[in-house]
């Protein structure tokens, strides 16, 4: 394997790029968007060709894992053209993994195409198994459509990991059902702590905050969890559930600061690079891209200069009973 050429000031090699390909979505999850979001004009977005060019530059600089996200990546028009283009990096061995995070609504349509593009696993966000609650959380989502999508993905041979945001007073009574449901279907399950992103009006993140320390303690009243050292390239820590044989992961940005092993950066659909999910440090790669249509060298320099400014970590903190360290942008903009 080539030596990674993107190394930040804290000696962390950057090998994982998350790319938000659109800020649009067919759902309006309460912790992610307001009901009447204003979306970006099309001219602001990187074209599919520009996304290809920029991702390919990152791959050339040692990125080995590409996660496509959004907004909802599968609602971006023509997105399969982009996935097909990325297949060449999987086939050449430059990429270890091409994957995506999706709400699942379009998976019935695209699962087989994704497999043909070299995708092997998908993360599907599903916070509840109760159709009414699902409607309340996603506002516009249809539960049956997502279940069909998950089934189609599994039938096409994709590994499915379920992501559930832990929300006190919303899905805290369902954590055992989620473990049993995923265990029976062979899906890994990862719980995520709700993060203070964007200004979403009067929803109070502190009220909904359910620490994964408490969640894990609650899970252990029914399941035997054995910690594993397995990592999947992301920030989750995993435990094996002895009763189901499945794995449960915990992404704990608030109770456990995982920044010291951070290997990733995030690209927005407008070509802004965020060096940390929880900080405002960014770099405008779109300008470099558009100013030099036939020459990647200035783009490489812009990326290297950005990595040299990667912050040490985020400052999210609920411990003082206020939401500290909040960043103003929405998760759908940065790419969750
Ligand atoms: N639309 C796709 C989906 O829902 O999977 C991809 C984008 S979405 C922004 C990525 C992930 O971020 C989802 O799992 C979602 O639940 C999570 N997310 C969104 N807002 C969040 C918040 N405020 N705190 C924690 N996770 C959040
Ligand atoms: Fe859409 Fe995903 Fe945000 Fe829900 S979490 S509104 S599905 S981008």
Report yes or no on 9 lying in a domain: no
Mean pLDDT, residues 11-25: 96
From 164-168, 210-214, 255-259, 320-324, the region with the lowest mean pLDDT:
320-324
β-sheet with 264-267: strand ranges across: 225-227, 237-241, 247-251, 188-193, 159-166, 121-125, 97-102, 65-69, 16-20, 264-267, 272-274, 282-284
Residues of the chain with pLDDT > 90, as a percent, come to: 76
The whole-number average pLDDT for the span 137-163 is: 98
- Please name which ligand lies nearest the alpha carbon of 192: 1
Residue 330 Cα to ligand 2 midpoint, Å, equals: 10
Count: domains in the chain: 1
Distance of CA 71 to the CA centre of its chain: 10
Q: Is residue 2 part of a domain?
A: no
Closest to 335 in 3D by CA, of 73, 83, 126: 73
Q: How confident is the model at residue 165 (pLDDT cuts 50, 70, 90)?
A: very high
Task: Give the ranges where 95-252 is alpha helix by DSSP (H).
Answer: 107-116, 131-138, 143-155, 175-185, 205-208, 212-219
Residue 4 in any domain: the answer is no
CA distance 12 to 8: 5
Min mean pLDDT across 138-142, 290-294, 329-333 is at 329-333
What sign for the dihedral angle of Cα 28, 33, 35, 41?
negative
For the record, the structure tokens of 274 come out as: 């965020």
Task: Report yes or no on 218 lying in a domain.
Answer: yes
Mean pLDDT of 110-123: 98
Are 119 and 107 spatial neighbours (Cβ–Cβ below 8 Å)? no
| pLDDT single digits (tens) 271-288 | 999 998 777 889 999 999
Confidence of residue 118 (pLDDT cuts 50, 70, 90): very high
Contact of 7 with 308, CB cutoff 8 Å: no
User: Does any domain span residue 10?
Assistant: no
CATH assignment of the domain containing 145: 3.20.20.70
For a ligand 2 pocket test, name from 18, 19, 22, 25 the mutation site with the most ligand atoms within 8 angstroms of its C-beta: 25
- What pLDDT score does 78 carry? 97
Residues 140-146: what's their mean pLDDT? 98
Do the domain assignments include residue 11? no
- Tokens 């990592």 label which residue? 231
Let me know if residue 3 belongs to a domain: no
Best substitution site from 122, 125, 194, 327 to test ligand 1's pocket, by max atoms within 8 Å of Cβ? 125
Q: In testing the pocket of ligand 1, which one of 139, 160, 165, 249 has its CB within 8 Å of the most ligand atoms? A: 165
- Model confidence pTM above 0.95: no
Examine residue 155 and state whether it is found in any structural domain, yes or no. yes
| Residue 84: predicted pLDDT | 98
Q: How confident is the model at residue 316 (pLDDT cuts 50, 70, 90)?
A: low
Q: Whose CA is nearest to atom 26 of ligand 1?
A: 194
Is the CB of residue 172 less than 8 Å from the CB of residue 210?
yes
Q: Are strands 282-284 and 272-274 parallel, antiparallel or unpaired?
A: antiparallel
**Cβ(27) to ligand 2 under 6 A?**
yes
Q: Is 25 in the pocket of ligand 1 (CB under 6 A)?
A: yes
Higher pLDDT, 229 or 243: 243
Q: What is the dihedral of CA 198, 204, 210, 212, to 10 degrees?
A: 20
Q: Which of 32, 70, 110, 171 to mutate to test the pocket of ligand 1 (most atoms within 8 A of CB)?
A: 32
Q: Does residue 244 line the site of ligand 2, with CB under 6 A?
A: no
Residue % of the chain over a pLDDT of 70: 86
> How many A from CA of 330 to the centre of ligand 1?
10
Q: Which ligand is nearest to the CA of 27?
A: 2
Q: Which atom of ligand 2 is nearest to the CA of 25?
A: 1
The residue that leads in pLDDT, 291 or 35, is 291
**335, pLDDT greater than 90:** no
- Only one residue has tokens 């029976």, namely 184
Q: What is the mean pLDDT of residues 310-332?
A: 60
The confidence score (pLDDT) of residue 202 equals: 46
pLDDT above 90 (res 321): no
The answer for residues whose C-beta is within 8 angstroms of residue 77's C-beta and 6 or more apart is none
Whose CA is closest to 195, among 36, 311, 332, 100? Answer: 332
Structural domain harbouring 156: 16-334
Quote the mean pLDDT of the chain.
90
Of the ranges 120-124, 203-207, 226-230, the best mean pLDDT one: 120-124
Q: Which residue is listed with tokens 């812009």?
A: 302
* pLDDT grade for 230, boundaries at 50, 70 and 90: confident
Cβ(72) to ligand 1 under 6 A? yes
């Amino acid at each position: 394997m080539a030596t990674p050429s993107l190394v930040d000031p804290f000696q962390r090699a950057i090998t994982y790029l998350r790319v938000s390909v659109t800020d649009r979505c067919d759902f309006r999850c309460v912790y992610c968007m307001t009901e009447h979001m204003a979306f970006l004009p099309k001219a602001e977005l990187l074209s599919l060709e520009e996304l290809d060019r920029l991702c390919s530059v990152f791959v050339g600089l040692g990125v080995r894992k590409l996660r496509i996200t959004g907004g909802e990546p599968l609602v971006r028009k023509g997105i399969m053209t982009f996935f097909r283009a990325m297949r060449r990096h999987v086939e050449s061995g430059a990429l270890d993994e091409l994957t995506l995070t999706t709400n699942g609504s379009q998976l019935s349509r695209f699962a087989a195409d994704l497999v043909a593009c070299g995708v092997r696993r998908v993360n599907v966000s599903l916070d509840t198994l109760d159709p009414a609650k699902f409607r309340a959380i996603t506002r516009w989502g249809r539960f049956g459509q997502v279940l069909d999508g998950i089934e189609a993905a599994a039938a096409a041979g994709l590994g499915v990991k379920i992501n559930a945001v832990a929300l006190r007073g919303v899905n805290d009574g369902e954590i055992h059902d989620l473990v049993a449901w995923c265990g029976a279907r062979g899906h890994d399950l990862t719980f995520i702590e709700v993060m203070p992103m964007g200004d979403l009006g009067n929803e109070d993140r502190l009220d909904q905050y359910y620490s994964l320390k408490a969640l894990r303690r609650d899970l252990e009243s029914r399941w035997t969890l054995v910690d594993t050292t397995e990592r999947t390239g992301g920030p989750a820590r995993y435990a094996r559930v002895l009763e189901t044989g499945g794995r449960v992961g915990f992404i704990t940005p608030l109770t456990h600061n995982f920044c010291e092993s951070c290997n990733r950066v995030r690209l927005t659909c407008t070509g802004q690079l965020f060096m940390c999910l929880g900080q405002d440090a960014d770099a405008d790669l779109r300008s470099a891209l558009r100013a030099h249509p036939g020459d990647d060298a200035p783009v490489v320099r812009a990326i290297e200069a950005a990595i040299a400014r990667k912050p040490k970590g985020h400052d999210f903190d609920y411990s003082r009973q206020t939401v500290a360290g909040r960043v103003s942008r929405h998760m759908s903009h940065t790419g969750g």
